């Protein structure tokens, strides 16, 4: 997955987290575990972006 695709997924996940947090605070969220699941998904995406950025910086230039 390219960094651009990951950035799109990151934005979508951040929006989802916002909506879930709002529902959680107003007691409208049926499954509170979905909030944690979305946060973990965001962490995975950010880890992949960081790994690709690091891999790109360490790539040999010839």
Task: Note the pLDDT tens digit of each residue in 13-29.
Answer: 999 999 999 999 999 99
- The token pair at 32 is 């509170």
Q: What is the pLDDT of residue 59?
A: 66
Does 62 score more than 90 pLDDT? no
CB < 8 Å & 24+ apart, contacts of 11-20: 13/38, 13/41, 13/42, 13/45, 14/42, 17/42
The pTM (predicted TM-score) of the whole model is 0.84
Q: What is the pLDDT of residue 45?
A: 98
């Amino acid at each position: 997955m390219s960094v651009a695709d990951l950035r799109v997924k990151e934005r979508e996940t951040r929006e989802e987290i916002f909506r879930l947090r709002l529902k959680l605070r107003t007691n409208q969220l049926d499954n509170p575990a979905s909030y944690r699941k979305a946060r973990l998904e965001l962490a995975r995406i950010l880890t992949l972006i960081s790994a690709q950025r690091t891999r790109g910086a360490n790539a040999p230039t010839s």
